[in-house]
Amino acid sequence: MICTIVPPYLLARIAGLQDEGFSRAAEAARHALAELDPVAQARSQARQSPPPRPGTAVVPSLRREVSDAGSRETLPGTVARVEGAAATGDAAVDEAYDGLGATGALFRDAYGRVAVDGAGGLLAATVHYGREYDNAFWNGERMVCGDGDGEIFERFTKSVTVIGHELAHGVVQYTAALEYQGQAGALNESVSDVFGVLVEQKLLRQEAARASWLVGAGLFTDQVSGSALRSLKAPGTAYDDDVLGRDPQPATMAGYVSTQADNGGVHINSGIPNHAFYLAATTLGGFAWERAGQIWYDTITEQSLPVDCTFAGFAAATLAAADKRYGTASPEYSAVTDAWGAVGIRP
């Protein structure tokens, strides 16, 4: 399962910039593309969720560990900071530590889930992965972040949504286990984007109307005309650059992309369920992690989703979750129904 924050189509675009004044970025992107297969192999060997044993007490506290790969591509690297230790002064280490904490706090405080595995396991990250590595990924056990090439991308720990996104892939791994292909893969990406932005919103105490709804804000250098990798509010508008091109995500099924690339368009078509969540959350107002987020969390943890779930199947599951928690006459149920309708999906 290839599951990285930067989509392969964007890496491929950057890899062709050798003659555009971005030689370092082009080389870094080519290397990141070459690394996708090893990452996929690691993901395919990842552990699935071991259900907590009945009666097992789970201590609701975070256990974080950040390691430093030292510009090598060997995991996990050397432990640089553990739970309760003081800041190191290394920006990537400390940003990863704080991002692990913000993500763990969202799932614990909002949904009662302790750690990615739901059983109080270690929240682990590795930073300074590779040399000028242009990506971040979840390898089945930990979040891994590169430092970027400095021409197109900054270090990947700069955005807490990236950290939240990658750890959310771990949550999906331990719950719905959506396969990384076609619409199920796009849902895997979308759920990770949803909880990635919710991590940031909860950290900043932002209500839905005030949030940016951007994934990866702050990753691009000032040489790029773009605000982020993706936008849930307005898919297709996250970047529009003379060199990188324009964000290709559709917001509705009218723009659905049928392709064999990128595991069937998982990073492109995720814009559609992303936008549905944004519409539901902003219709309900207030803090998005409380009602809309709760419904999405209930969907991946309580509904019996097939691993090859379609958009329509996922929409139906969110409605079942909304009905179970709030009832069909509730504003929550209506908001979710209308959101899916607005993006052209009929459960």
Contact 336, 244 (CB under 8 A): no
Burial of residue 18, with CB atoms counted within 10 A of its CB: 0-12 exposed, 13-18 middle, 19 or more buried? middle
74 Cβ contact list (under 8 Å, min separation 6): none
Q: Is 40 helix (H, G, I), strand (E, B) or coil?
A: helix
| Given 179, 267, 275, 332, the catalytic residue | 267
> What is the separation, in whole angstroms, between the first and last Cα of the chain?
27
- Clarify whether 166 is annotated catalytic: yes
Phi, psi of 302 (to 5 degrees): -115, -20
Rounded distance, CA 23 to CA 18, Å?
4
Which of 95, 132, 141, 166 is flagged as catalytic? Answer: 166
Given a contact cutoff of 8 angstroms between Cβ atoms, the answer to whether 163 and 241 are in contact is no
Distance between CA 104 and CA 127 in Å, rounded?
18
CB 231 within 8 A of CB 197: no
Tokens of 98: 């704080």
DSSP states along 272-336: HHHHHHHHHHHHH-S-TTTTHHHHHHHHHHHS---TT--HHHHHHHHHHHHHHHH-TTSHHHHHH
Catalytic residue list: 166, 267
